[in-house]
Amino acid sequence: MPFPYYLGRFVRSRKVTVKTITYYIIHLLFFFPILVIGQVEICDNGIDDDNDMLVDLNDDDCACEVIEPISLIPNPSFEDMNCCPRERSQLDCASMWIQASEPTTDYIHLCDWLGWDDFPPPRPFPDGEGIMGFRDGRVRSNNNEPEPYWKEYAGACLTSPLIAGETYRFQFDVGFVDPDKSPPIDITFFGTTDCQYLPFGLGNIAFGCPTNSPNWDNLGDVRVSGGLGNRWVNTFLEITPDKNYYAIAIGPDCAPVPTPISLYYFFDNLLLADFESFNLQISESQHPCSNDYILSVPFNPEFEYQWFLEGIALQGEIFSELSQNYGEGIYQVRIDDGYSCRVSKTFEYIIPVIDMPANVAICDGDVYEFGDLRISEEGMYLDTFKSIDNCDSIVALNLTVIGAKYDTLEVSILKGESFDYEGNSFTEEGNYPLTLISSLGCDSLVLLKLSHFNIYIPNVFSPNRDGQNDVFRPYAQDARIETVEMSIYDRWGNLVFKGTEWDGYKADGGVYTYVLNINFAFDKSKVFVGTVTVIK
């Protein structure tokens, strides 16, 4: 009972004796701690009701079942690795993923390979450090010929099959380079009834999409646009399969793309789960740096909602969508359906800061405007700008001034040869200061240091393995020779040896003809023809 109750009884008592006073004091001392400790935490008022220094969801009194979709696609964010990708086409480095098509997808990870220079992925990645990149049609670099059926797919065996008649949601992030290299695309989701059908179209780079095989079905597609590009877009599609599917493939749709340039996109955070588990999946609208960035969960008229920031209730936020941006932090939403208390997985909202390196060259005497600075001296400069999405973009500028100093070019040539540079030909040793016009129109200063070297090709050797003059090969000072392609012919024109050096041990004595194609360290090659005598 509350303290005033005992006080009232004490005051109204007609017999105030020592025994009576002692009785009530003992009662108060015994029950008053219980009055404080027995308070129960109210879980949505932002107050520490039970005085244990823990508020709302941070208090164990407010424990609810955490609901989150568990993806049936293994390694859905490409975080688990068999190896760190070093170059293109290494999807096998991502655990549990399979190159589904003959044209190969790319595994991109912050541990090393960050993708093609022509197709930079938007940063930061939606979830973790790994993503997957794929093409939808390409143009061959050697002849600019379009390949409209060049379509790249990734596949995986599901951790549990999609069951016929049940409804599933496939939610994922698509990355775009820019409007030209990543125009709007129909992302398509394919399924097969047996993992043995992965991969498909083996040996045929023009096989196209999975449904060109009788073992694959189109489970659904969704149109996705990257707008101005260099961004991630979160989207989803819902499916109710009519049969059980044990493996999936994802990528572009089946229509051929006769594009004049290669088209490229990215995948991350591939969540495939039963529809009900997405009831409390927090999603975001707008870019994290936007002032209009808002969090929401799917609306259900039978639910009551309460949002929390850092475990503390946001007063008045009792709908499926937040009314405003409360800033960075860890968010959760609790629902009450009249039967149970359920709470979402935590969602961490972080406003990204983007690091952007920049290399700029100017002419000597020119000025480059960098933020509030007007700079003309070479060096590294840092400044913070706002990106197109309103993010802080820290730009590290490496400024080069062309013509402010000589660039030195050291070249060695065979005596009697010439060196051609920017329309000029040089044959004699010496230092030549040159003034050239760069692509920026600057006067570019180059100091050419030209020197001679000689090459020695023996005309006789004795391959008897006595350790002296046993091998036939060319010699040059200071390791000027990089590679040698050697062909040796007998006197009847038969090829008797091809390689880099000839030991001649099994050859008969006599005269042989050699053809040497020598590549030198200064990026020049020359063919030498002559004869060599084998002495036995």
222-264 pLDDT, tens digit per residue, is 999 998 889 999 999 999 999 999 999 999 999 998 888 999 9
In sequence order, what DSSP letters do the residues of 84-125 get, joined into one string?
---STT-GGGBTT-EE-SSSPPEEEETTS----TTSPPPSS-
Q: Which residues contact 173 (CB under 8 A, 6 or more apart)?
A: 126, 127, 232, 233, 234, 235, 267, 268, 269
Helix (H, G, I), strand (E, B) or coil at 267: strand
Question: CA 188 from chain center: how many Å?
Answer: 21
- Paired tokens of 6: 């005992």
pLDDT value for 357: 75
Q: Are 66 and 308 in contact (CB under 8 A)?
A: no
- Percent of the chain residues topping a pLDDT of 90: 57
Question: What's the pLDDT score for residue 360?
Answer: 85
**C-alpha–C-alpha distance, residues 77 and 271, integer Å:** 9
Place 132 in a pLDDT band, splitting at 50, 70 and 90.
Answer: very high
In whole angstroms, what is the distance from residue 367 CA to residue 316 CA? Answer: 54
- For helices 18-37 and 3-12, the axis angle rounded to 10 degrees is 170
pLDDT tens profile 89-105: 999 999 999 999 999 99
CB 401 within 8 A of CB 377: yes
Fold of the domain built from segment(s) 455-534 = Immunoglobulin-like (2.60.40)
pTM above 0.85?
Answer: no
Q: pLDDT at position 87, please?
A: 95
Question: Could you check whether the bond before residue 214 is cis, i.e. omega within 30 degrees of 0?
Answer: no
Q: Per-residue pLDDT tens for 289-311?
A: 888 899 999 888 888 999 999 99
Please report the pLDDT score of residue 38 as a whole number: 55
Q: What is the CATH number of domain 91-278?
A: 2.60.120.260
Rg of the chain over all Cα atoms, to the nearest angstrom: 37
Q: What is the amino acid identity at position 65?
A: E
In this predicted structure, what is the pLDDT of residue 200?
96
Name the residue type at position 156. Answer: A
148 pLDDT exceeds 80? yes
- Residue 18's pLDDT band (cuts 50, 70, 90): very low
Long-range contacts of 317-321 (CB under 8 A, 24+ apart): 320/296, 321/294, 321/295, 321/296, 321/297
Peptide bond into 184 cis (omega under 30): no
Span 27-53, average pLDDT: 71
Which position has the token pair 């030198």?
A: 520
Mean pLDDT across 166-189? 96
φ and ψ at 478, to 5 degrees?
55, 35
CB 244 within 8 Å of CB 227: no
- In this model, does residue 31 exceed pLDDT 50? no
pLDDT of residue 495: 94
Taking the C-alpha atoms of 204, 142, 184 and 234 in order, what is their torsion angle to the nearest 10 degrees? 80
Could you name the CATH architecture of 284-349?
Sandwich (2.60)
Looking at the predicted structure, is the pLDDT value of residue 23 above 50? no
- Provide mean pLDDT across the span 147-158: 96
3-state secondary structure of 25: helix
Task: Determine the pLDDT at residue 33.
Answer: 45
Taking CA atoms, 219 is separated from 135, 253, 339, 480, in Å, by: 20, 11, 34, 61
**Mean pLDDT (the chain, rounded):** 87
**323 pLDDT more than 70:** yes
- Edge-to-edge strands, sheet with 481-489: 460-461, 524-534, 510-520, 481-489, 495-499
